[in-house]
Amino acid sequence: MAGGLAIQFNEDILNRVQANNRISFACTVTLFRYIMHWLKLRHLQQAKYYGPLLLRNRFSSQKQLPTLTLFTKDPCPLCDEAKEILEPYKHRFVLQEVDITLPENSVWYDRYKYAIPVFHLNGQFLMMHRVNTAVLEKRLARVEEEKH
């Protein structure tokens, strides 16, 4: 009788462990799905800005101007100063402003809330805080050279 009780006890423990493993596995799968959904949303928010830019650059004519993206918010005195400094270069790029405080730009807000103004040239980081005309000149020249 004692042996039968031990076997029953071991089966109960085994059943509980298996049930806990199923619950643990289900929780892991749910967490994995949540994380993947979150990553997908972040990627989609970034794709919203860079998707059209990448398509335009891939399928457009050789004379297309590069896109300089300015991540900004209102008010932003440094952004206003940066736009004044960029004025002489406006014929060499298309300026796209992204207000990081808008709900659809939360990815950019999380990334740049303490760093604006931030600039990307054709979807790649260029500079932040202040306009560095030497860096801008160098990258614009490289982009223009690649088109020829």
10 Å CB burial of residue 98 (0-12, 13-18, 19+) is buried
Name which residue leads in pLDDT, 18 or 134. 134
Q: Could you give the CA distance from residue 38 to residue 139 in angstroms, rounded to a whole number?
A: 33
Q: Are residues 100 and 133 in the same domain?
A: yes
Stretch 98-124: mean pLDDT: 96
Q: Band the pLDDT of 62: cuts 50, 70, 90.
A: very low
Residue 78 lies in domain: 61-147
What is the number of structural domains in the chain? 2
pTM of the entire predicted model: 0.60
Q: Are residues 44 and 71 in the same domain?
A: no
Q: Are residues 46 and 66 in the same domain?
A: no
- Quick one: which of 48, 35, 33, 24 has its CA closest to 103? 48
Name which residue leads in pLDDT, 13 or 75. 75
pLDDT of residue 54: 54
Query: CATH no. for residue 103?
Result: 3.40.30.10
Q: Are residues 77 and 25 in the same domain?
A: no
- CB within 8 A of 53, min separation 6: which ones? 67, 122, 123
